[in-house]
């Protein structure tokens, strides 16, 4: 009776075959960090030398135990309405030395995961790189090194060859701007370098690695599509004043179009090139780089959206001897009265997801895309347990519903959106934040053998997927 009433009142119906699911990553969920042949990534190494950099000293060695519990977890995906699921292969597990010998235990594990997903009618979306550089590759320079670019392309080819008969949706990188920002600009993540020029080189080499992997995939003539996952954070000016508007345009160049344009249009934004050239900060571009970027455009874009960026014109001059940062060209702006997630400190602004969709429709040839991440992290979520023993996360249901209203509007107005993946399926380890904020549809009990319990949002998400709307 209740379900029938739910169906009768659907106001936001989504297209047939819409992807409902979630996103995760290997390093954040698998655990089993240094067993069965896997070797350290930069996260394992950084934790070994500076565990205090991680919330409550919780490192990446165990994470959420997916490596040993994937069959149970995939059943829980089915119970929460998934018809698709994105995770990542760990380079440090599949090819532990970065290049050379393939780890047969890793091949067996990923084969089992893919086959189990398919057996449960869940389409596997596989990403190749989610911030997790093998430490042996970082020792060669990480993304600053062309040798590492070559090794990544070899790794990608091996993934396509091993799993491409069943995996139809591939992604080269998740949020490739994050290792640039966090590792080379703002001192948030290992290797803790603060040097814009080196960061620019990392960005360019990453885009070359991406384009070469796309080319390798297409040469294999596999059935399937390949793309990239970008976190798009639109920049909004404080006012319509021309200087504020210009500040927002510059911010957008650095934080959105720097990756979006080359992967969809095959070229860097001319205005961004001009800014860097004027400051003698252009990265080294090797012969053939621009051609390989131009010739290998994506089939499909994943869009991660969490919050907008708000900026205004620069109010104070930058010291002449200051090493360049993008923020030398604009100031951040906190909008009064904004809605906020108090746990994360992030603004909640649902209609921005619609603005992204319309921008892709109007300025990026209406490229096929899907919302590949969107979610709400909450600290201390155990306080929302009810008497029946599960978390009543109505705030998460409201968050998703309000965003989906705008996704629906964008689709109605012609944006080519194919699906929605929440971040994330189950509570997982999240880099330096460890388990501080929980995002899952499924609770993971760290104090009780990593037991899983579906939250209220997980039950709601199943109805959403079954009814293909709400």
Token couple for 49: 């030398």
Instruction: Provide the pLDDT for residue 4.
Output: 40
- Go through the chain and tell me how many residues it has: 470
Phi-psi region of 222 (alpha: psi -120 to 50; beta: other; left: phi over 0): beta
In angstroms, the CA 358 to CA 307 distance is 17
Catalytic positions are 175, 373
What is this structure's pTM? 0.96
Tokens of 26: 């290997």
Report percent pLDDT > 70 for the chain.
98
Cβ neighbours around 17 below 10 Å, total: 9
Q: What is the mean pLDDT of residues 70-96?
A: 98
What pLDDT does residue 2 have?
41
CA 181, CA 202: separation in Å to the nearest integer? Answer: 10
DSSP SS3 for 225: strand
Encode pLDDT of 243-272 as tens digits: 999 999 999 999 999 999 999 999 999 999
According to the model, what pLDDT value does residue 8 have?
61
Q: Note whether 467 and 461 are within 8 A (CB).
A: no
φ, ψ dihedrals at 227, nearest 5°: -155, -155
* Cα distance between residue 353 and residue 375, in whole Å: 12
For residue 1, pLDDT beyond 60: no
Tokens of 81: 């309405």
> Which residue shows structure tokens 């960090």?
33
pLDDT at 202: 98
The answer to whether residue 444 scores a pLDDT higher than 50 is yes
For the segment 12-66, what is each residue's pLDDT rounded down to a tens digit? 999 999 999 999 999 999 999 989 999 999 999 999 999 999 999 999 999 999 9
Is the per-residue pLDDT at 7 higher than 70?
A: no
Q: What percent of the chain has pLDDT over 90?
A: 96
Which architecture characterizes domain 2-467 according to CATH? Alpha-Beta Barrel (3.20)
Q: What is the mean pLDDT of the chain?
A: 96
The dihedral through the CA atoms of 28, 45, 231, 107 has a sign that is negative
What does the pLDDT look like over 351-370, one tens digit per residue?
999 999 999 999 999 999 99
Secondary structure letter of residue 468 according to DSSP: T
Predicted confidence (pLDDT) at residue 345 exceeds the cutoff of 90: no
| Residues 159, 272: Cα–Cα separation, whole Å | 34
Asked if residue 175 has pLDDT above 90, the reply is yes
Q: How confident is the model at residue 164 (pLDDT cuts 50, 70, 90)?
A: very high
Q: What local confidence, expressed as pLDDT, does residue 365 receive?
A: 98
Residue 6 has pLDDT above 60, yes or no: no
């Amino acid at each position: 009776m209740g379900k029938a009433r739910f169906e009768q009142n659907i106001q936001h119906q989504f297209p047939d075959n819409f992807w409902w699911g979630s996103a995760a990553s290997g390093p954040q969920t698998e655990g089993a960090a240094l067993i069965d042949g896997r070797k350290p990534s930069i996260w394992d190494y950084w934790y070994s030398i500076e565990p205090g950099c991680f919330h409550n000293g919780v490192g990446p060695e165990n994470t959420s135990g997916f490596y040993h519990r994937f069959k149970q977890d995939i059943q829980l995906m089915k119970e929460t309405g998934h018809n698709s699921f994105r995770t990542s292969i760990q380079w440090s597990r599949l090819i532990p030395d970065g290049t050379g010998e393939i780890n047969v235990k890793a091949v067996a594990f990923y084969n089992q995961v893919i086959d189990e997903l398919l057996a449960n009618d869940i389409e596997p979306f596989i990403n190749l790189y989610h911030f997790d550089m093998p430490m042996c590759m970082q020792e060669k320079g990480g993304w600053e090194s062309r040798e590492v670019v070559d090794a990544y392309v070899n790794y990608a080819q091996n993934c396509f060859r091993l799993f491409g008969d069943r995996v139809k949706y591939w992604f080269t990188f998740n949020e490739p701007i994050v290792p640039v920002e966090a590792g080379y600009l703002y001192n948030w993540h290992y290797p803790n370098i603060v040097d814009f020029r080196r960061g620019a080189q990392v960005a360019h080499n990453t885009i070359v690695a991406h384009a070469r992997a796309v080319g390798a995939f297409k040469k294999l003539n596999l059935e399937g599509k390949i793309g990239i996952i970008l976190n798009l954070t639109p920049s909004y000016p404080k006012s319509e004043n021309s200087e504020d508007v210009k500040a927002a345009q510059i911010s957008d160049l650095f934080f959105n179009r720097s990756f979006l344009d080359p992967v969809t249009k095959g070229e860097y934004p001319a205005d961004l090139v001009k800014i860097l050239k004027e400051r003698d900060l252009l990265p080294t571009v090797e012969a053939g780089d621009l051609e390989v970027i131009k010739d290998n455009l994506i089939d499909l874009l994943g869009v991660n959206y969490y919050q907008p960026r708000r900026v205004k014109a620069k109010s104070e001059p930058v010291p002449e001897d200051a090493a360049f940062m993008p923020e030398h060209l604009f100031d951040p702006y906190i909008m009064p009265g904004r809605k906020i997630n108090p746990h994360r400190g992030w603004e909640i602004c649902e209609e921005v997801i619609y603005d992204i969709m319309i921008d892709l429709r109007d300025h990026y040839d209406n490229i096929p895309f899907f919302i590949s991440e969107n979610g709400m992290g909450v600290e201390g979520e155990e306080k929302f347990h009810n008497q029946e023993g599960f978390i009543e996360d109505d705030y998460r249901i409201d968050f998703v519903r309000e965003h989906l209203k705008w996704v629906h509007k964008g689709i109605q107005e012609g944006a080519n959106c194919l699906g929605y993946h929440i971040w994330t399926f189950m509570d997982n380890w999240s880099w330096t934040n460890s388990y501080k904020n929980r995002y899952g549809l499924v609770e993971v009990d760290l104090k009780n053998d990593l037991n899983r319990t579906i939250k209220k949002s997980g039950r709601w998400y199943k109805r959403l997927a079954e009814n293909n709307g709400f």
